[in-house]
Protein backbone atom coordinates (compact mmCIF):
# COMPACT_ATOMS: atom_id res chain seq x y z
CA UNK A 1 0.00 0.00 0.00
CA UNK A 2 1.49 3.32 -1.04
CA UNK A 3 0.70 6.42 1.02
CA UNK A 4 0.97 9.84 -0.62
CA UNK A 5 0.90 12.64 1.95
CA UNK A 6 -0.48 15.94 0.76
CA UNK A 7 -0.84 19.30 2.48
CA UNK A 8 -4.51 19.90 1.88
CA UNK A 9 -7.67 18.95 0.01
CA UNK A 10 -6.62 20.87 -3.13
CA UNK A 11 -3.29 19.07 -3.39
CA UNK A 12 -4.91 15.68 -2.71
CA UNK A 13 -7.40 16.33 -5.51
CA UNK A 14 -4.69 17.40 -7.97
CA UNK A 15 -2.46 14.41 -7.23
CA UNK A 16 -5.40 12.02 -7.74
CA UNK A 17 -6.40 13.75 -10.97
CA UNK A 18 -2.85 13.56 -12.34
CA UNK A 19 -2.71 9.80 -11.77
CA UNK A 20 -6.05 9.27 -13.54
CA UNK A 21 -5.27 11.62 -16.43
CA UNK A 22 -1.99 9.83 -17.10
CA UNK A 23 -3.73 6.42 -17.18
CA UNK A 24 -6.54 7.68 -19.40
CA UNK A 25 -4.02 9.17 -21.84
CA UNK A 26 -1.91 6.01 -21.95
CA UNK A 27 -4.76 3.57 -22.61
CA UNK A 28 -6.72 2.66 -25.73
CA UNK A 29 -9.58 1.47 -23.52
CA UNK A 30 -9.99 2.23 -19.84
CA UNK A 31 -12.53 1.26 -17.19
CA UNK A 32 -12.76 3.70 -14.33
CA UNK A 33 -14.60 3.01 -11.08
CA UNK A 34 -16.00 6.18 -9.53
CA UNK A 35 -17.15 7.32 -6.11
CA UNK A 36 -19.45 10.04 -4.81
CA UNK A 37 -19.54 12.09 -1.60
CA UNK A 38 -17.67 15.31 -0.84
CA UNK A 39 -14.20 13.82 -1.12
CA UNK A 40 -13.90 13.32 -4.92
CA UNK A 41 -15.54 16.63 -5.91
CA UNK A 42 -12.15 18.37 -6.21
CA UNK A 43 -10.76 15.47 -8.24
CA UNK A 44 -13.66 15.75 -10.71
CA UNK A 45 -13.15 19.51 -10.91
CA UNK A 46 -9.51 18.93 -11.84
CA UNK A 47 -10.44 16.40 -14.54
CA UNK A 48 -12.84 18.93 -16.09
CA UNK A 49 -10.26 21.71 -15.94
CA UNK A 50 -7.65 19.45 -17.53
CA UNK A 51 -10.00 18.53 -20.36
CA UNK A 52 -10.58 22.23 -21.05
CA UNK A 53 -6.88 23.02 -21.06
CA UNK A 54 -5.30 19.89 -22.51
CA UNK A 55 -8.20 18.26 -24.36
CA UNK A 56 -7.73 14.91 -22.59
CA UNK A 57 -10.42 12.72 -24.14
CA UNK A 58 -12.70 10.24 -22.34
CA UNK A 59 -14.27 8.77 -25.48
CA UNK A 60 -12.50 5.44 -24.81
CA UNK A 61 -13.36 5.39 -21.09
CA UNK A 62 -16.13 3.31 -19.49
CA UNK A 63 -17.22 4.12 -15.93
CA UNK A 64 -18.88 2.15 -13.15
CA UNK A 65 -19.99 3.93 -9.99
CA UNK A 66 -19.80 2.27 -6.63
CA UNK A 67 -23.31 2.83 -5.41
CA UNK A 68 -26.75 4.46 -5.57
CA UNK A 69 -29.58 5.03 -3.09
CA UNK A 70 -32.56 2.70 -3.34
CA UNK A 71 -35.89 4.20 -4.37
CA UNK A 72 -34.43 7.40 -5.71
CA UNK A 73 -35.25 8.62 -9.20
CA UNK A 74 -32.20 9.30 -11.37
CA UNK A 75 -33.34 12.90 -11.80
CA UNK A 76 -33.50 13.50 -8.03
CA UNK A 77 -30.79 16.03 -7.06
CA UNK A 78 -29.77 13.75 -4.17
CA UNK A 79 -29.25 10.71 -6.39
CA UNK A 80 -25.73 9.69 -7.28
CA UNK A 81 -26.82 9.67 -10.95
CA UNK A 82 -27.50 13.40 -10.61
CA UNK A 83 -24.29 14.00 -8.65
CA UNK A 84 -22.14 12.35 -11.32
CA UNK A 85 -23.92 14.12 -14.16
CA UNK A 86 -23.43 17.54 -12.62
CA UNK A 87 -20.00 16.99 -11.02
CA UNK A 88 -18.36 15.33 -14.03
CA UNK A 89 -20.19 13.68 -16.92
CA UNK A 90 -21.91 16.78 -18.34
CA UNK A 91 -18.54 18.50 -18.60
CA UNK A 92 -16.36 15.84 -20.27
CA UNK A 93 -16.65 14.05 -23.61
CA UNK A 94 -17.53 10.58 -22.28
CA UNK A 95 -20.30 8.87 -24.33
CA UNK A 96 -23.44 8.40 -22.19
CA UNK A 97 -23.64 4.73 -23.25
CA UNK A 98 -20.33 4.10 -21.45
CA UNK A 99 -21.53 5.44 -18.09
CA UNK A 100 -22.88 2.96 -15.54
CA UNK A 101 -24.42 3.39 -12.09
CA UNK A 102 -26.62 0.92 -10.22
CA UNK A 103 -30.31 1.70 -10.82
CA UNK A 104 -31.70 2.41 -7.37
CA UNK A 105 -35.18 2.80 -8.86
CA UNK A 106 -35.21 -0.67 -10.48
CA UNK A 107 -38.34 -2.69 -9.73
CA UNK A 108 -36.36 -5.89 -9.19
CA UNK A 109 -33.38 -4.84 -7.08
CA UNK A 110 -31.93 -8.36 -6.82
CA UNK A 111 -31.89 -8.65 -10.61
CA UNK A 112 -30.35 -5.19 -10.91
CA UNK A 113 -27.49 -6.22 -8.58
CA UNK A 114 -26.81 -9.37 -10.64
CA UNK A 115 -26.88 -7.43 -13.93
CA UNK A 116 -24.56 -4.72 -12.60
CA UNK A 117 -22.04 -7.26 -11.38
CA UNK A 118 -22.19 -9.14 -14.70
CA UNK A 119 -21.74 -5.93 -16.66
CA UNK A 120 -18.57 -5.08 -14.75
CA UNK A 121 -17.17 -8.56 -15.40
CA UNK A 122 -18.25 -8.49 -19.08
CA UNK A 123 -16.27 -5.26 -19.46
CA UNK A 124 -13.16 -7.02 -18.22
CA UNK A 125 -13.31 -5.57 -14.70
CA UNK A 126 -12.27 -2.18 -13.39
CA UNK A 127 -8.82 -0.84 -14.22
CA UNK A 128 -8.78 1.88 -11.59
CA UNK A 129 -11.28 2.37 -8.78
CA UNK A 130 -11.58 5.69 -6.94
CA UNK A 131 -12.66 5.27 -3.32
CA UNK A 132 -13.57 7.43 -0.38
CA UNK A 133 -13.94 6.09 3.13
CA UNK A 134 -16.77 6.44 5.63
CA UNK A 135 -15.99 7.41 9.22
CA UNK A 136 -16.96 3.86 10.20
CA UNK A 137 -14.64 2.40 7.56
CA UNK A 138 -17.28 1.77 4.91
CA UNK A 139 -16.23 1.62 1.28
CA UNK A 140 -18.96 2.13 -1.29
CA UNK A 141 -21.90 1.51 1.04
CA UNK A 142 -20.43 -1.66 2.52
CA UNK A 143 -21.10 -1.10 6.18
CA UNK A 144 -19.23 -2.81 9.05
CA UNK A 145 -20.17 -6.49 9.18
CA UNK A 146 -20.49 -6.90 5.39
CA UNK A 147 -18.94 -10.11 4.07
CA UNK A 148 -15.53 -9.55 2.53
CA UNK A 149 -16.73 -11.91 -0.26
CA UNK A 150 -19.79 -9.81 -1.14
CA UNK A 151 -20.70 -8.90 -4.73
CA UNK A 152 -23.04 -6.07 -5.77
CA UNK A 153 -25.93 -6.14 -3.29
CA UNK A 154 -28.63 -4.17 -1.49
CA UNK A 155 -27.62 -2.80 1.92
CA UNK A 156 -29.38 -1.29 4.92
CA UNK A 157 -27.54 1.93 5.67
CA UNK A 158 -26.06 2.32 9.15
CA UNK A 159 -27.68 5.10 11.16
CA UNK A 160 -24.28 6.81 11.45
CA UNK A 161 -23.96 6.81 7.63
CA UNK A 162 -27.43 8.32 7.23
CA UNK A 163 -26.46 10.99 9.76
CA UNK A 164 -23.16 11.68 7.96
CA UNK A 165 -24.98 12.05 4.62
CA UNK A 166 -27.92 14.04 6.04
CA UNK A 167 -26.05 17.25 5.19
CA UNK A 168 -27.01 16.71 1.54
CA UNK A 169 -30.74 16.34 2.33
CA UNK A 170 -33.38 18.77 3.70
CA UNK A 171 -33.73 16.53 6.79
CA UNK A 172 -32.46 13.16 8.05
CA UNK A 173 -35.90 11.60 7.51
CA UNK A 174 -35.36 12.04 3.78
CA UNK A 175 -32.05 10.14 3.71
CA UNK A 176 -32.82 6.72 2.17
CA UNK A 177 -32.47 3.66 4.40
CA UNK A 178 -31.13 1.38 1.67
CA UNK A 179 -28.64 1.49 -1.19
CA UNK A 180 -27.21 -0.72 -3.92
CA UNK A 181 -23.46 -1.02 -3.66
CA UNK A 182 -20.67 -2.90 -5.35
CA UNK A 183 -19.60 -5.58 -2.88
CA UNK A 184 -16.26 -5.68 -1.14
CA UNK A 185 -15.12 -8.49 -3.41
CA UNK A 186 -16.25 -6.48 -6.49
CA UNK A 187 -14.18 -3.53 -5.29
CA UNK A 188 -11.02 -5.46 -4.53
CA UNK A 189 -11.09 -7.15 -7.93
CA UNK A 190 -10.20 -3.75 -9.40
CA UNK A 191 -6.67 -3.77 -10.78
CA UNK A 192 -5.74 -0.53 -9.05
CA UNK A 193 -7.37 1.41 -6.23
CA UNK A 194 -6.98 5.10 -5.35
CA UNK A 195 -8.31 5.92 -1.89
CA UNK A 196 -8.80 9.61 -1.13
CA UNK A 197 -8.92 10.68 2.50
CA UNK A 198 -9.39 14.26 3.63
CA UNK A 199 -10.17 16.11 6.83
CA UNK A 200 -10.16 15.63 10.61
CA UNK A 201 -13.33 13.55 10.52
CA UNK A 202 -11.46 10.78 8.73
CA UNK A 203 -8.47 10.79 11.07
CA UNK A 204 -9.54 7.74 13.13
CA UNK A 205 -10.62 5.75 10.06
CA UNK A 206 -7.28 6.33 8.34
CA UNK A 207 -5.37 5.44 11.49
CA UNK A 208 -7.27 2.16 11.83
CA UNK A 209 -6.78 1.32 8.14
CA UNK A 210 -3.03 1.85 8.39
CA UNK A 211 -2.83 -0.48 11.38
CA UNK A 212 -3.19 -3.25 8.83
CA UNK A 213 -5.55 -5.62 10.67
CA UNK A 214 -8.16 -7.06 8.30
CA UNK A 215 -11.66 -7.40 9.73
CA UNK A 216 -15.26 -7.37 8.51
CA UNK A 217 -15.94 -4.85 11.27
CA UNK A 218 -13.86 -2.34 9.33
CA UNK A 219 -14.55 -2.92 5.60
CA UNK A 220 -11.76 -0.67 4.27
CA UNK A 221 -9.23 -2.88 6.03
CA UNK A 222 -9.50 -5.35 3.13
CA UNK A 223 -7.41 -2.87 1.12
CA UNK A 224 -4.39 -4.08 3.10
CA UNK A 225 -4.64 -7.31 1.11
CA UNK A 226 -4.69 -5.64 -2.32
CA UNK A 227 -1.45 -5.39 -4.24
CA UNK A 228 -2.04 -2.02 -5.92
CA UNK A 229 -3.56 0.51 -3.55
CA UNK A 230 -2.53 4.15 -3.34
CA UNK A 231 -3.86 6.23 -0.46
CA UNK A 232 -3.78 9.96 -1.06
CA UNK A 233 -4.40 11.72 2.24
CA UNK A 234 -4.20 15.30 3.41
CA UNK A 235 -2.53 16.61 6.56
CA UNK A 236 -5.75 16.79 8.58
CA UNK A 237 -6.64 13.17 7.84
CA UNK A 238 -3.08 12.15 8.66
CA UNK A 239 -2.99 13.97 11.99
CA UNK A 240 -3.78 10.83 13.97
CA UNK A 241 -1.17 8.64 12.25
**DSSP character string of 128-175:** EEEE---TT--BTTB-TT--TT--SEEEEPPHHHHHHHGGGSSSGGGS
* Residue 200 annotated among the catalytic residues of the structure: no
Note whether 176 binds ligand GLP by CB under 6 A.
no
* Residue 78 annotated among the catalytic residues of the structure: no
* Residue 100 annotated among the catalytic residues of the structure: no
Note whether 43 binds ligand GLP by CB under 6 A.
no
Closest contact distance (angstroms) between CB of 37 and ligand GLP is 3
Alpha-carbon distance of 172 to 166, in angstroms, equals: 5
Nearest to 139 by CA among 36, 53, 52: 36
The count of residues in the chain is 241
Closest contact distance (angstroms) between CB of 151 and ligand GLP is 17
Alpha-carbon distance of 155 to 142, in angstroms, equals: 7
**67 vs 127, beta carbon nearer ligand GLP:** 67
Note whether 140 binds ligand GLP by CB under 6 A.
yes
Note whether 42 binds ligand GLP by CB under 6 A.
no
* Kind plus residue range of the DSSP H or E element containing 105: none
**Residues 35 and 2: beta-carbon distance below 8 Å:** no
Note whether 136 binds ligand GLP by CB under 6 A.
no
Considering only 9, 31, 32, 37, the residue that binds ligand GLP (CB under 6 A) is 37
**56 vs 165, beta carbon nearer ligand GLP:** 165
Residues that bind ligand GLP (CB under 6 A): 35-39, 66-67, 132-134, 140-141, 161, 165
Catalytic residues, by residue number, are 67, 136, 138, 143
Amino acid sequence: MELIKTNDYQEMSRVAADIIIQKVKQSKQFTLGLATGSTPEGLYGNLIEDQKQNATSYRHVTTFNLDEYVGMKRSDPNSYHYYMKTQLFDSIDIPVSQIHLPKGDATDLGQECLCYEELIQANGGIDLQVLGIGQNGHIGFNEPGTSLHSKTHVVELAESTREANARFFPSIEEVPTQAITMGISTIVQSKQILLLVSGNKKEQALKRLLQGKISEEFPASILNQHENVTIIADKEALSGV
